Every structure is written in C-alpha cells, then in structure tokens.
Amino acid sequence: MKDFLDPAIKGTTGILKAIKAYAPTVKRVVVTSSFAAIINTKNHADVYSERLWNPITWEEAQDPAQVYRGSKVRRSYAYIISVVILTCQFQTFAEKSAWEFVEKEKPGFDLVTINPPLVLGPIVHYLNSLEAINTSNARVRDLIQGKSKEKLPPTVTYLWVDVRDVALAHVRAIEVPEAGGQRFFVTAGHYTNKQTAEIIREAYPELESKLPPKDAPDDLPANVYGYDNKKSIEVLGLKYRSLKDSVVDTVKSLLAVGA
C-alpha cells in the first residue's frame, strides 16, 4: 500500500512546492479532493460536512486487508467496495498533506479544497469505448446496457453531485475571496440506483427492456447519514441540479457515444 500512498501524497505536495518556488504570482490553489476524505466507512456520522475528516490512520492504510473489507459482498461488487476504500486512503492523506504544507511552508497562496461524493453527469470528452468511462457514470452505463436488468445493484454511496456543479464550484472557489482557506463539501443530496433507474424508465421508455425490474426495492436506508452542504451554497453560490436533470443528460450523452 505504501507504493500507492506515497505517490498520492508526494504528487500533491510536489505541485505545491513547485508553485511556491516558480510561480510567485499565484494567489490561490484549488485542489480536487473527495467525500472520501470526509466519510467514516466504519462508523458513519449522523451528518457529513467539510468539518469532518476520514479517521483512517497511516497504520490502517498500510494494511492490505483494508482493500478486501468488501469480500463478503457479491463478487461483482466487491471491486466497488475496494475502490471506495482505496480512494478514502489516497484522498485523505493527499488532502491532509496539502493543508499541512500550507500551514508549515506559509506560501504566497492560500488553499481551497473541493470535496464531492459520487459524480454523475454528461460526458464531454472523447471515449474510444464506453468501457473506459469513469467509475461513477459506469453505473448509469450498466443500467442502459442491460447489465443490471436481472437485479438492481447496491448503491453503496448514497450522496451524489452533477459534474457541472463540481466544475462551477472550482471556478467559484477561485473567484470568491471568502473561499480562501476552506474546504467545501459539494453534494446535491441523496440518491440510489433505484431512483436512477426510474428516471431512465420515464425519460427513455425505449430502454425499458434493459432496465432492472420495476418492483426492485429501493436500498436507501431509513437511517441513512445526512449531509450539510450549506457552505457550498452560501459561500460559493451553488444551485444544485436535480437528479432527474443529471441522469437524463448523462444518458443522452452516453447514447450519443453508442451505448
């Protein structure tokens, strides 16, 4: 695991060192972090916000068994759990290293981090194949390609945001003076794969035969963790897109590629 963690940390601090040394006119650096640096997968908070940190320790991160904590999940989704855990490790230590650098080195710039959860939204970049799509949108791709028509897959992560809102958050983080020195938890709220499937069913009836059964249960827990995204709204001025708009636009972009 050290072979993965070290590059994540050194890559982050290396860029900050280079900016300090060679770009003295830079006044602010915005880093894309993740909800992974906030979430506590062992003991979920009642409400997640940018005030919280993933409590994973360096010693825990060195344990290869962390990657296989999802081994009792169905084989096809153990991989997803593993990716979530690895991301938590990388993003937590990488982001902390950025804040520690600014605190110790006192560079001529301040720092802002953007912490989004699962990111959905239309693709705008060229793809040779939809097999190369990002992990978040892969679940939408799988729905419209019929890969989940026998059974709805578990949602795993219950918070989401549209990629266009994440992009705008980065722009606002640069433009808004008050954003300096802050973390921003950027999320539109709760979602599930069931909700996604029903949005597709309504907007694209021609895909009905590829979608999971209508009576598939929604796996949103009754006691699902809450979220506090007020700072992203009040400081950055974000107005989050709805899940419906995001999913409809995502499917439209995937069909255009040839899903």
Identify residue 222 by its one-letter amino acid code. Answer: A
Structural Rg of the chain based on CA atoms: 19
Terminal Cα-to-Cα distance of the chain (whole angstroms): 35
What does the pLDDT average to over 5-29?
A: 84
Q: Stretch 118-145: mean pLDDT, rounded?
A: 82
How would residue 84 be classed by pLDDT, with cut points 50, 70 and 90? Answer: very low
Higher per-residue pLDDT: 136 or 207: 207
96 catalytic residue (yes or no): no
Over range 95-106, report the average pLDDT: 94
Distance of CA 176 to the CA centre of its chain: 23
The pLDDT score that the predictor gives to residue 87 is 43
With tokens 């009576």, the residue in question is 215
Which residue is catalytic, options 72, 104, 106, 214?
A: 72
Tokens 């989401």, residue? 160
With respect to CATH, is domain 2-257 assigned 3.40.50.720? yes
**Would you state the pLDDT for residue 88?**
43
Q: What percentage of the chain exceeds 70 in pLDDT? A: 80
Question: What is the mean pLDDT of the segment spanning 113-130?
Answer: 83
- Cα–Cα nearest to 11, from 87, 80, 94, 70: 94
Q: Average per-residue pLDDT in the chain?
A: 85
Partnered with residue 195 across adjacent β-strands are: none
Would the CA dihedral through 143, 37, 31, 68 be positive or negative?
negative
**pTM to 2 decimals?**
0.86
pLDDT at 13: 87
The yes-or-no verdict on residue 73 having pLDDT over 50 is no
